[in-house]
Structure 1
Amino acid sequence: MLCFGFTRNLETDMQTKEFYPIGVAGQKWQDAERQQWRDSTSIKRSYHEEVVSKILALKHRFQVEQYGALSYDPERYPLFCIKSNNWDTNKPVVLVTGGVHGYETSGVQGALLFIENKMESYCEYFNIIVAPCVSPWGYETINRWNPLATDPNRSFYSNSPAEESANLIKLVGSVDGTIMVHFDLHETTDTDETEFRPALAARDGIEYTPGEIPDGFYTVGDSENPQADFQAAIIKSVSQVTHIAPADKNGEIIGSPVIQTGVINYPMVKLGLCGGVTNCTYGTTTEVYPDSPKATPQQCNLAQVAAITGGLDFVLSKL
């Protein structure tokens, strides 16, 4: 979730929380508060069982490479990418990233499902590289931040303070060929409003203002290169799997104007977002809503796959 400004209002959920339980209202966190926050986290699921095992099982079909490891625990948190076989520099490159925010489950599992079921059929036309879980510590602890209370999806710039982002930047820099297409797979969850945005306000010493969560799928394009037809193709494809988020009463989604059905735009590079990690022609950040009563976990995973295939089919029509 990109988390800026929000069509489900969760204000009542927060009325019992006058302040976030860590820190002092109006004061930025220092090392002690960051440590207190880190001490409040715990392992809730297994990166190796739910992600690494699935990646390693793909070795007989694709190239599986380790592109780094997190220093918090290198053996527990190796970073893997999966590449198409028979890499051909005459083909355009497609990058798929998931789990930049580790708690956003369908970004990770949707990327793996795409590899398992759809990737081979597109390898004739593209070189494809997938980094399915950029933030494995976040995946295990179901967190938006890394252990330093730093958001990897605000840290895609030179000398990044987030290892997760720095490792992916290095991977992108090593790619042989031109990255034409980038899908960054995310979710918007109820916990964005009940936990992560209040934590962000507390960390930064600012007042928390309740917002709204959009019910449904939407995409975020790059305001510097929006590619409206590409975004529309993704929305059309996903609409066959799950519902598209409507604009709120202000014509917005999470505080940004809806510029076409299910689409808003952000300045990707300026904000240090993963969506700006390449100079691609076609880029999108997907946002699935897993807490909707109208969507199952499998639908959320399939929505991520549909976003990728809908986008790739559009790009193929332009080649």
Structure 2
Amino acid sequence: MTNEQPYAIGTPGSKWGATEKAQWLALQTIKRSYQEEVVSKIDALRADFDVEQYGELCYDENSYPLYLVKSRNFDASKATILVTGGVHGYETSGVQGAIRFIETKAQQYSEQFNIVVAPCISPWGYETINRWNANAIDPNRSFYANSPAQESALLMQCIKSLGVEVFAHFDLHETTDTDNSEFRPALAARDAVEQKNWNIPDGFYGVGDTLRPERDFQKAIIQSVEQVTHIAPSDGDGKLIGVTLEQFGVINYACKELGLCAGLTDAVYCTTTEVYPDSPKVDDENCIVAQVAAITGGLDYIIRQ
């Protein structure tokens, strides 16, 4: 299905310039508090984890400190695990799931791994419930050299500065109804390209990397998640979000080529989780628990190897 109604901003067939981006930004409003919902929870972790500020975003009068949470006593003999949340700020369970993993599971797994978590990469997007940053740039298409997105550039610098090889990377996301109602139409208008809406999958699914799909790893994640929530079935064409199914509940993307956060490192194992918070079968808590189950399912698989 193709978007037929013109977006409220811009002229059909013409890419946005500075004027259109300013119009878009003027419509964005603060809807929730990064300080209250995220930073306060990160501060509460300081007794048991190392919490470091790795940068700060400045948009107009608002500034947003960016935090990394690490298990203590890094050991070079252990594999390093990276968890990222909130690359798309509007995807709430990605942020809260990353925090919940630290609160409830990270200590347990730090016996086998060095744990590194960036809970909320796009705090402006979190507060305004947006996919893009304030410059109308998608951070999750901006993980490449000379990135135009501060969010992506600062995280890349941070991970590089750790001086370790990341062995596994879990990037926590959601697919929401607003992907079709707002964000894809906005993308079509911004770039003056046709965007076809797809059926939003009802349930959890995972996205592997075409270059390193690690089929059994992805399967273990699905098996773990389906203990707490339902897995999205494919559509009538055997696809999820327009991509052919690789296995039950899993599709693959070219992560590095597309500038995705999941392509940030050369990790042996990487996955992008996709929770569907708009399903009548789930609530906010279930979505958070599903994110944690994805991480633990993947880590348990690695330990078994």
- 1:72 is aligned to 2:42: no
Measured against aligned partners, the alpha-carbon deviations of 1:242-271 in whole angstroms (never above 9, x if no partner) come to 000001000000010101000000111000
Partner of 1:6 in structure 2?
none
Q: CA shift at 1:72, angstroms?
A: 1.6
- 1:183 is aligned to 2:188: no
Measured against aligned partners, the alpha-carbon deviations of 1:194-220 in whole angstroms (never above 9, x if no partner) come to 000000000011234332100000000
Q: Name the CA distance, whole Å, in 2 between partners of 1:116 and 1:218.
A: 24
Paired AA for residue 178 in structure 1: E
- Report the RMSD for the aligned CA atoms in angstroms: 1.3
Preserved contact between residue 25 and residue 206 of structure 1 (Cα < 8 Å): no
Structure 2 counterpart SS, 1:214: coil
Preserved contact between residue 202 and residue 208 of structure 1 (Cα < 8 Å): no
Paired AA for residue 223 in structure 1: T
Report percent identity of matched pairs. 61
Q: CA shift at 1:74, angstroms?
A: 8.6
- 1:18 is aligned to 2:11: no
Structure 1 counterpart SS, 2:282: coil
Q: Name the CA distance, whole Å, in 2 between partners of 1:43 and 1:251.
A: 39
- 1:170 is aligned to 2:157: yes
Normalising by structure 2, what TM-score?
Answer: 0.98
Unaligned 5+ runs, structure 2 = none
Q: Name the CA distance, whole Å, in 2 between partners of 1:268 and 1:209.
A: 21
Identify the structure with bigger relative contact order (alpha carbons < 8 Å, sequence gap 6+).
1
Partner of 1:248 in structure 2?
235
- 1:96 is aligned to 2:100: no
Partner of 1:212 in structure 2?
199
Q: Name the CA distance, whole Å, in 1 between partners of 2:71 and 2:87.
A: 21
Q: CA shift at 1:176, angstroms?
A: 3.2
Match of 1:257 among 213, 220, 244: 244
- 1:279 is aligned to 2:266: yes
Count of aligned residue pairs for this structure pair:
305
Partner of 2:31 in structure 1?
44
Partner of 1:201 in structure 2?
188
Partner of 1:122 in structure 2?
109
Normalising by structure 1, what TM-score?
Answer: 0.93
Measured against aligned partners, the alpha-carbon deviations of 1:69-96 in whole angstroms (never above 9, x if no partner) come to 0122697300001000011111110000
Preserved contact between residue 89 and residue 176 of structure 1 (Cα < 8 Å): no
Partner of 1:308 in structure 2?
295
Further displaced range: 70-79 or 100-109: 70-79
Preserved contact between residue 96 and residue 185 of structure 1 (Cα < 8 Å): yes
Partner of 2:100 in structure 1?
113
Unaligned 5+ runs, structure 1 = 1-8
Preserved contact between residue 41 and residue 141 of structure 1 (Cα < 8 Å): yes
Measured against aligned partners, the alpha-carbon deviations of 1:163-196 in whole angstroms (never above 9, x if no partner) come to 0000110111012322100000000000000000
Q: Provide closer, same or farther for how the CA distance between residues 204 and 75 of structure 1 changes in structure 2, counting only shifts above 3 A.
A: closer
